[in-house]
Homo-oligomer: A and B are copies of this chain.
Amino acid sequence: MAWEITKEVKSEIKLNNPVLLEGLPGIGNVGKIAVDFLVEELKAKKICSFFSYKFPHSVFVNENNLIEMPKIEVYYKKFKDKNKRDLLLLVGDIQPIDEESCYSFCDEVLELMKGWGCKEIVTTGGIGLQKTPEKPRVYCTSNDEVLLKNYVKKGIYVERDIFGVVGPIVGVSGVLLGRGKQKGVKGVALLAETLGHPMFLGIKGAKELLKVLDDQFALGLNLKKLSKEIISLEKEIMKKTKEWSQVGTKTEPGAKPASEGDMNYIG
């Protein structure tokens, strides 16, 4: 069994020249924070969810004392304004855990995108630094020369040169671009500097990513809200992601006490 994809809408959704924004967990979780924020702000609706036997074999207990399984989902936003591109938002608690599941997951997403008439993606990720960056810079790479110029030309929100700054980009944010290119889908990866600590919440990095997206897609975001709202919202979401990142095949079956104290770093 590979990927179980559950449709969450009753009828087909027609989207206007959509772009898919990817925000799964990773270094500093800057992409996750940014795209989770968009789902909330834009009141996006769920279009499908994913499941695989390669998910962590554990469940989380939420604030209602009920269990939740790890989630990967796609939401969509249809704008009334026909000059705006509609959005698909790929969000979740986890990334696929190994090479095979990462590649097969990305191929499933690219296949679904055909059905949604979507040929462009923006993936997100963090560049893990040794110190917390005061004002995180955003770098950009792409699988298409023209699309890349589109993002870096102004040089205001996005740095001009990424070559030599980063090593390989690991996971869905890189592989979606690589497999995308082979399947006719253009894409960019937006990478924001952040602290390379697994429990760091890169709020500032997320904010810089949102500025780029706001500029590219004229989303009209109220970014002051980000700092206040997101911190409370995300602390809870991040609890799940952080704990799932520590569960692996070797973990003894059973329950652990909740992690000691409040050890999230907000920046």
Binding site for B on A (CB under 8 A): 1, 24-28, 51, 53-69, 95, 97-100, 102-104, 125-129, 140-145, 148, 152, 161-175, 177-179, 181-182, 189, 191, 198, 243-244, 247, 249, 251-259
Are the C-beta atoms of B167 and A65 separated by less than 8 Å?
Answer: no
Given contacts A65-B141, A142-B65, A178-B67, contact A171 B53 (CB under 8 A): no
Q: Which residue of B lies closest to A177 (CB)?
A: B67
Docked CA distance A181–B168 (Å)? 37
The smallest C-beta distance from A50 to any residue of chain B, in angstroms, reads 13
| Chain B residue at minimal CB-CB distance from A240 | B168
CA distance A244 to B167 in the complex (A): 9
Looking at A161, A163, A178, A249, the one whose CB has the most chain B CB atoms below 10 A away is A178
Question: Whole-angstrom distance from the CB of A113 to the nearest CB of chain B?
Answer: 18
- A61 pairs with B254, CB closer than 8 A: no
Q: Smallest CB–CB gap between A162 and chain B, Å?
A: 5
Given contacts A59-B168, A163-B63, contact A255 B125 (CB under 8 A): yes
Chain B residues contacting A258 (CB-CB under 8 Å) are 164-167
A69 cross-chain contacts in B, Cβ below 8 A:
178-179, 181-182
Q: What are the residues of chain B within 8 A of A28 when measuring CB–CB? A: 254
List 5 other contacts, CB 8 Å, given A125-B253, A170-B253. Answer: A26-B252, A57-B171, A67-B143, A164-B258, A170-B254
The 8 A-B residue pairs whose C-beta atoms are closest, nearest first, are: A171-B253, A27-B254, A59-B174, A57-B102, A69-B178, A26-B253, A58-B168, A166-B255
B55, B166, B255: the one within 8 Å of A191 (CB): B255
Distance (Å) between the CB of A138 and the closest chain B CB? 12
Shortest CB distance A240–B (Å): 8
Q: How far is the CA of A128 from the CA of B254 in the complex (A)?
A: 8
